[in-house]
Structure 1
Amino acid sequence: MTEYFIYSFIYLAAAVIAVPIAKRLGLGSVLGYLIAGVIIGPIIGLVGDETTSIQHYAEFGVVMMLFLVGLELEPKMLWKMRHRLMGLGGLQIVLTTVSVAFIATLFVEEWSVALAIGLIFSLSSTAIVLQTFNEKSLTKTDGGQNAFSVLLFQDIAVIPMLALIPLLALPELIELSQATFTDTAEKHAELSLVAGIPGWAYTLVVIASIAIVVIGGHYLSRPLFKFVADSGLREIFTATALMLVIGVAALMSLVGLSPALGTFLAGVVLANSEFRHELESNIEPFKGLLLGVFFITVGAGINFTLLSEEFALIIGLTLAVMLLKMVVLLLLSFLFNVRGSDRWLFSLSLAQAGEFGFVLLSFSGQQNVLPEPIIQPLSLVVALSMFFTPALFILFDKVILPHYQKNSNQREEDNIDQLGSVIIAGAGRFGQITNRLLVSNKIPTVVLDHESSMIDILRSINIKSYYGDATRPDLLHTAGIEQASLLIIAIDDKIRSVELIKYVKHAYPQIKILARAYDRGHYYASKYAGADYVVIETYYSAVELGAQALIDLGFSLKKANQVRQTFQQSEAKSGEALYEVWRQKGDFDQNYRALFIQLEEELNHAMEASQTEESPDSHTSDHSKREGN
């Protein structure tokens, strides 16, 4: 028992130290876990032979992850994805398998061994890719969506692969296995419901198991979760969620199917359940921790002795597999019209082998398809390809994405063919609303934005706008800054917006400048630069929402408006005092913080003074009046 405590402490301590450091360095959490595993395993030697056993348990994190992925999907969504799922995912599996198998025939004699190797390396790492997509907010991109479709098809394809691999068994390995491992095979057979049964019976068992998951999840889960939720014990709901995932995984394992696919199917069935979010919140911590431990075991399991002995071969195979997969994915990106930086995101993110590669390697050994001398170096290739994957994401972030962003800004600026009394710099959500309000009142505007994609979107919905950098003096001249009455600044870059205010106030002092600020610091900087009117973009919407909250809590419409007015008056008064203190230092120093606390106390007193004898509970909100207001 003591050694398990010690190993648990080592793994968790390695994660606690390495992952935050990796995140701060911009390397991502996955690379942090992998590095932690390498340090505590091959380098320091704190962990050793138990790594493989721990990895089997940690792989359950992949199972949980696919359950959560299933919860985010609905059958209708899967149907909409069918073309990318079957077309893109299916072609990726076939082309990669054939390519790898063809190359493998140059090194091995048996075609069945080459085919097994091709199947193993056709898979990518769902755990690493989805984890990194979530961290870097790449899930909703076109490249991320296509990569997700491929990963989803790969996970589904594991089932037919598991069914095919036993058919590739080598006769000489079968004889050796029967002579040496008879007892072990009998022990494994005891844990299977389908061992020794005919093919037609196995098919019926598989259909029955899937039916249990689908029908049970649809009809039995809601009464069960409602019964547990009514107890009011959160830990019992957590236990129920874990019981569900573990039970489905166990059932799939007993009938020879992929536990990950079974839990994914269960997640899809429960995607419309009202308990979905509660399930996610209960499973997520376990998933994250187990995935982290799994990545650590991958790093700790790298056999540096074998790597040093066969360094050139293993590194060469790893890079060759990743390059081959990337070429296949690039070809498919052209075929399926994945463009720009999304093409490279799609190709680089899936270039590695995956965690299911370990499963298939182990299964291939058990089924006498691959001999042990081949399994060991291939396991290293799988592990190293996963280890190198975060570097590919860094390459995408630091080199490829900036290149495409730079090229997107190299589009020639539009010819401004009409002038207006108002120039709006920035065509984002803020600038668009301002422009619509002015144009609907017959006020001519000139809208400028340096994001070409945004300009194209606006033009597609008949909103007149021009591509160009509003901070450039020559473009402002072309836009008619000399004849304009107002300049409205709504660009995203805080520094560039302040510099624009300074320039226009110096070169065209007659122009009145209205500016949008992101926060209080940006507000002060814009005001100090000379803007005539500055508004923090969230201020009025937050005040409006707060007033509505008071009404919904029982305040009358009149009372809520009175409180809102008092709040805004106090904010305006204190804002001037806070600005003067900020202006003296140009920063939020200790004097600023002390004054802010003092003014907050004065605000509380002002709000109390505005209270009348009218009780908020004695009035209810009048919906029609609110609509009129």
Structure 2
Amino acid sequence: MASPSEHASFLPPVLTFLSAAVIGVPIFRLIGQSAVLGYLVAGVLIGPFGFSLIAEPETAASVAEIGVVLLLFIVGLELHLSQLVSMRRDIFGLGTAQLLICALVLGGAGYLFGLPGTAATVIGIALALSATAVALQLLEERGDLGTNYGSRAFAVLLFQDLSVVAILALMPLLASAGGGGGESFWFGAAVQSTGKALVAILAVVLVGRYGLNPFFRLLAASGAREVMTAAALLVVLGTALLMQEVGLSMAMGAFLAGILLAESNFRHQLEADIEPFRGMLLGLFFMSVGMSIDGGLVKAMWPTLFGATAAAILVKIALVAGLFRLFGSSWLDAVRGAAILAPAGEFAFVLLPVGGGLGLLDANATRFAVALAALTMLVGPVAAKALDAVLARRRGTALEQATDVIESTEARVLVIGFGRFGQILTQVLLAEGIGVTVIDKDVEQIRSASRFGFRVYYGDGTRLDVLRAAGIGRVELVCICIDESEAALKIVDMVHEEFESVRTYVRAYDRTHAVELMNRDVDYQLRETVESALAFGRATLAGLGVPDEVATRTAEDVRKRDVARLVLQQAGALPDGSSWMRGAQTELKPEPLTAPQRPARALSAETRDIIESERRDAAQRALETRDPDQDLDGPDPERRDAKAQDVTTREARPREAKARDLETQDGAPDA
């Protein structure tokens, strides 16, 4: 039986990684550098050529690759097939040109410095590839993934990921080019591996198209949130492993899974569940890259290594910037995009060892190229940051203005809850052409939403990570249409604390809930039955023969008096037992706005006892609190209106929407 110490043997390296992350990353963020650089430097320090705190960095590297896998999955979730089709010119045109030209120039430079042709070719291709994880992390930190240069940079990265499969297949052919009889063997193996890859891709597409939505719907109906998280990881890692088994990259498999789920109702929930794992494992990946730098080689050949690193970065920036410019980008966008793509990619750590195993380059060249690739990833973020600073200083505020944001259909409104109330609301917004994102955790509501002609995403609106994944930081206002009052209040508190610029429009369950929302300074609240009841009463008066204008005026008068009473109840200004002090939880009792013309009559003994008890309580309250102005709802309309106007003035709230008239604050005219 294993001892407790053996069971806990994994804790020291885990604590080392966590400590390095929480110390290194904040320091580099404070000095204005990217978190990527903080992870890389932390990896160097804890690695075998630093303080040697990690005994087996190779084990960490194998686990850290999952971070890149999850990153590509989330990127895939953000894309749609239509977007990929629209990017085909950049993916296959710009991507092909970038890889071929950079590989040719960098490989040619290696050949001129004495490397054999095959070694120069492999190293040129490895350095021509770009670091997907570094580039996407930098774009995410800047918020530039949706910009013109960010979209083009992503297209290049996507083509590189696709091309890795072909590169790995061609390397055996390159190794056998001088050997004479290996071509036929290589051709048969290539055909077989290509067939396996196509079958695997077809299987993933079919399962993703017809199986994943029912699968997640079944799990969501169980109500177990942790099962949804486990299912998300199962889909991502399972697809990645399948792609690896057939010769494709794990990252490519995860990206394919993300693309297939981009149209799913569960997209935002999946993104929220995956995000914590993605962030931590991606940080571990960057640290593993830092640990892979051969400190002994750097110490022995530092002038050559640092000179080659600077040359490789500058050459890639110049070449890629020229290609971006050729494909229509401005010079500013071209340079920024080129700086993002300057570091060598993660696949360099795959291609170079494979090339060494095939005899394409010797051990010394492999060590040198791996160290060079790692150093470009270490220096690249610094170069990109410095370049941004130079451009910003030269152009001032024009840097931000020159960023050409791609035209998008991002939602302007986030609607939480798709019940009867939310369905009608979204119809109004869509009729005006307003972009809407809707989330709901009721699987049946999601299933029925297809009849409305738009998509409802599965998600729990009381979770901050789900709100972020649904894009709440990019919308103008959030409409909270759920019928759970406590959950609605929780969402309001989160939005006001985390997203101050987002306005809150909330459906109130009842009068008590409405006052609680007013105390939280929501921009707009509406009790769910008020408008329908007023419209019903107006129609009833009309049905009894009351002229339409009189019925409308009466209903409007009741509305104003009800709003005035609501404001007084919020302020604690009513001495009738229904006061409401901020923070108190006293239940508001319904009170008549108009005194009845005759007293109530009992229809049974039980009713008689209730009526007598209420009369005694009312008389006692009247004796205890005597206020000449307490008859707010009495027959004197002038004094009543003056009192309501005074309360309205005193209780005006600071948020922008609170400056509206009381009658429009608590209700809107019927459509």
TM-score, scaled to structure 2: 0.61
- Residues 563/602 of structure 1: CA separation in 2 closer, same or farther (3 Å cut): farther
The Cα shift of 1:349 comes to: 1.0
Query: In structure 2, what is the Cα distance between the partners aligned to 1:566 and 1:402?
Result: 58
- Residues 163/222 of structure 1: CA separation in 2 closer, same or farther (3 Å cut): same
The aligned counterpart of 2:163 is 157
The aligned counterpart of 2:362 is 371
The Cα shift of 1:344 comes to: 2.0
Letter paired with 1:380: A
The aligned counterpart of 1:387 is 378
SS, match of residue 526 in structure 2: helix
Aligned counterparts, 1:205-224, within 5 A:
205-224=196-215
**Dislocated runs of 4+, deviation >4 Å:** 170-174, 194-199, 406-411, 536-548, 553-572, 600-605, 607-614
SS, match of residue 112 in structure 2: coil
Query: In structure 2, what is the Cα distance between the partners aligned to 1:221 and 1:408?
Result: 43
The aligned counterpart of 1:396 is 387
The Cα shift of 1:369 comes to: 2.2
The Cα shift of 1:406 comes to: 5.1
SS, match of residue 527 in structure 2: helix
Deviations 1:480-506 (A, max 9, x none): xxxxxxxxxxxxxxxxxxxxxxxxxxx
Query: In structure 1, what is the Cα distance between the partners aligned to 2:670 and 2:155?
Result: 48
Aligned counterparts, 1:285-324, within 5 A:
285-324=276-315
The Cα shift of 1:107 comes to: 2.8
The Cα shift of 1:9 comes to: 1.0
Is 1:259 the counterpart of 2:259? The answer is: no
Deviations 1:536-577 (A, max 9, x none): 9988989999475423376767788667768989999xxxxx
Contact 2:42 2:290 in 1 (8 A): yes
The aligned counterpart of 1:137 is 143
Contact 1:563 1:610 in 2 (8 A): no
Deviations 1:162-191 (A, max 9, x none): 1111212269999xxxxxxxxxxxxxxxxx
The Cα shift of 1:42 comes to: 5.3
Contact 1:113 1:168 in 2 (8 A): no
Higher mean displacement: 127-136 or 546-555: 546-555
Contact 1:567 1:603 in 2 (8 A): no
Contact 2:39 2:283 in 1 (8 A): yes
Is 1:126 the counterpart of 2:132? The answer is: yes
Higher mean displacement: 237-246 or 558-567: 558-567
Contact 1:123 1:354 in 2 (8 A): yes
Query: In structure 1, what is the Cα distance between the partners aligned to 2:165 and 2:15?
Result: 36
The aligned counterpart of 2:342 is 351
Aligned counterparts, 1:531-570, within 5 A:
546=522, 549-552=525-528
The aligned counterpart of 1:626 is 668
Please list every run of 5 or more consecutive structure 1 residues that lacks an aligned counterpart in the other structure.
175-193, 412-519, 521-535, 573-599, 615-620
The Cα shift of 1:335 comes to: 0.5
Deviations 1:39-82 (A, max 9, x none): 22256523355112211220111111111111111111100011
Letter paired with 1:126: T
Aligned counterparts, 1:403-418, within 5 A:
403-405=394-396
The Cα shift of 1:195 comes to: 11
Contact 1:38 1:300 in 2 (8 A): yes
The Cα shift of 1:350 comes to: 0.8
- Residues 380/275 of structure 1: CA separation in 2 closer, same or farther (3 Å cut): same
Is 1:112 the counterpart of 2:154? The answer is: no
Q: How many residues align?
A: 453
Query: In structure 2, what is the Cα distance between the partners aligned to 1:170 and 1:345?
Result: 40
The aligned counterpart of 1:450 is none
Deviations 1:188-247 (A, max 9, x none): xxxxxx999744433322211111111111111122212222222222221111111221
The Cα shift of 1:363 comes to: 2.1
SS, match of residue 361 in structure 1: helix
Letter paired with 2:22: V
The aligned counterpart of 1:524 is none
The Cα shift of 1:134 comes to: 1.0
Deviations 1:253-302 (A, max 9, x none): 21111111112112111110111112111211111111101111112222
Aligned counterparts, 1:188-227, within 5 A:
198-227=189-218
Query: In structure 2, what is the Cα distance between the partners aligned to 1:101 and 1:540?
Result: 57
Q: Which structure: larger Rg? A: 2
The Cα shift of 1:161 comes to: 1.0
Let me know the Cα RMSD of the aligned residues.
3.9
- Residues 410/276 of structure 1: CA separation in 2 closer, same or farther (3 Å cut): closer
SS, match of residue 230 in structure 1: helix
The Cα shift of 1:18 comes to: 1.4
Contact 2:72 2:251 in 1 (8 A): yes
- Residues 376/198 of structure 1: CA separation in 2 closer, same or farther (3 Å cut): closer
Query: In structure 1, what is the Cα distance between the partners aligned to 2:46 and 2:292?
Result: 10
Is 1:38 the counterpart of 2:41? The answer is: no
Is 1:102 the counterpart of 2:108? The answer is: yes
- Residues 564/391 of structure 1: CA separation in 2 closer, same or farther (3 Å cut): farther
Query: In structure 1, what is the Cα distance between the partners aligned to 2:120 and 2:48?
Result: 30
The aligned counterpart of 2:268 is 277
Q: Percent identity?
A: 35
The aligned counterpart of 1:617 is none
- Residues 162/540 of structure 1: CA separation in 2 closer, same or farther (3 Å cut): closer
Deviations 1:356-375 (A, max 9, x none): 11111122223332221111
SS, match of residue 51 in structure 2: coil
Aligned counterparts, 1:452-463, within 5 A:
none
The aligned counterpart of 1:85 is 91
Contact 1:341 1:401 in 2 (8 A): no
SS, match of residue 550 in structure 1: strand
TM-score, scaled to structure 1: 0.64
The aligned counterpart of 1:247 is 238
The aligned counterpart of 2:12 is 6
- Residues 161/313 of structure 1: CA separation in 2 closer, same or farther (3 Å cut): same
Contact 1:36 1:296 in 2 (8 A): yes
- Residues 125/173 of structure 1: CA separation in 2 closer, same or farther (3 Å cut): farther
- Residues 268/541 of structure 1: CA separation in 2 closer, same or farther (3 Å cut): closer
Contact 1:170 1:368 in 2 (8 A): no
